[in-house]
A = this chain, B = another copy of it.
């Protein structure tokens, strides 16, 4: 099946417009802080949310609005997480009502997202003042919407693909924000995906729930699972494909396209981890089963010591072994092989759980690249997994030592 990456983000699919403006939630900055995505037609919609017991008010509201499997817009602010607020629900409902007032889309067809500091007082006033410009400017502006949902992100994250379902050309694209407080499960903060595929809400939910297992749930920046994580997909059906109502070839094609976009966003999120200088991918093979593969791959990319070693371009593979050992998975550590790989080459450092001679010079060259693969083979079965993380740097500490002020 052919999947082609195309520009356009959340506006790549037919019938979607987006915009982002500065309304003044981020009082001290000149950054955009309010985004809107709308579909010209009501959509099948599905989402997954953070596993954190502390949940943002927008998640509570979004869950309620999606209970009928449909939505038509996403409104999202940055600068305040709207979490642990006394008036959180009122604000989140208020944001939906603003969308209804300015676009006519019913409030209960609106998905709400917020990202920023937890537990800060929040008011609807700045958003109210920004709605006119926000809606008036709706157009092919995925980039502005993306810009408006960024917090400590340093690069925008969008991806889109074109593909075919039963001979009909379809498109799917998304934007993401997420830089710190990123950890399985639902390792993102906010991901909004739009598509013109015709699919039922049930099958869409199935696709989304399955997708995260090998996409956003396999990303970690700092081990802190956010309170606001939301990954939602809107499908408006304008492509005109035969509606996807069950599993089969068409559903598989849709899932593959979705995964092409989500994995690309995952890698962008990990690489843009707070303070990160490197994307670190653990490619785990030879596991006895899927769960072991995922558990071990995640332990490797989560290890602070391994992450710091990657920052220092230090082939300290003992830390990788150490992480495998404490991952909680049952692993025969005396069969484990480890290699480091990048554009600059590959260096094997551990065989059967013990060190093997390697050129430190060669290893340094490999690890100085900005995308590193840690290859781990457990030599115990057919299962594999891929997890994405980043290095741990001075900058991470700097950013998070004084985030609020």
Give A residues with C-beta under 8 Å from B: 51-55, 81, 83-86, 117-121, 180-181, 183, 222-227, 302-305, 308-309, 311-312, 314, 316-319, 321-326, 330-331, 333, 350, 353-355, 392-394, 396-405
Can you list 25 pairs linking A and B with CB atoms under 8 Å apart?
Answer: A52-B325, A53-B325, A53-B333, A84-B355, A85-B355, A86-B354, A86-B355, A118-B316, A118-B318, A119-B317, A120-B318, A183-B326, A224-B319, A224-B323, A224-B326, A225-B322, A309-B403, A312-B400, A312-B401, A312-B403, A314-B401, A392-B397, A393-B397, A394-B398, A396-B397
How many Å from the CB of A16 to the closest CB on chain B? Answer: 32
Query: Given A325-B54, A397-B396, are A84 and B318 neighbors across the interface (CB < 8 Å)?
Result: yes
| In the bound complex, CA of A274 to CA of B225 (Å) | 24
A314 touches B403 (CB 8 A): yes
Residues in chain B near residue A405, CB distance under 8 A: 314
Q: Do A305 and B119 touch across chains, with their CB atoms under 8 A apart?
A: no
Chain B residue, CB-CB nearest to A302: B223
**A404 and B316 within 8 A (CB):** yes
| Contact, CB under 8 Å: A355 / B121 | yes
| C-alpha gap A323/B354 in the complex (Å) | 36
Does A54 contact B119, Cβ atoms closer than 8 Å? no
How far is A350 from B84 in the complex, measured between Cα atoms in Å?
9
Question: What 16 additional pairs, Cβ within 8 angstroms, besides A85-B355, A222-B304, A311-B397?
Answer: A52-B322, A53-B324, A53-B325, A53-B331, A81-B318, A83-B321, A86-B354, A117-B316, A118-B319, A119-B355, A224-B326, A225-B325, A227-B318, A308-B401, A312-B401, A314-B403
Residue of B nearest to A86 (CB): B354
Q: Are B85 and A401 in contact (CB under 8 A)?
A: no
Within the complex, which residue of B85, B353, B396, B403 is in contact with A354, where a contact is CB–CB below 8 Å?
B85
- Tell whether, in the assembled complex, residue A322 and residue B355 are in contact, meaning their CB atoms are under 8 Å apart: no
Distance of A119 Cα from B51 Cα, bound (Å): 37
Chain B residue numbers with a CB within 8 Å of A227 are 318, 321-322, 325
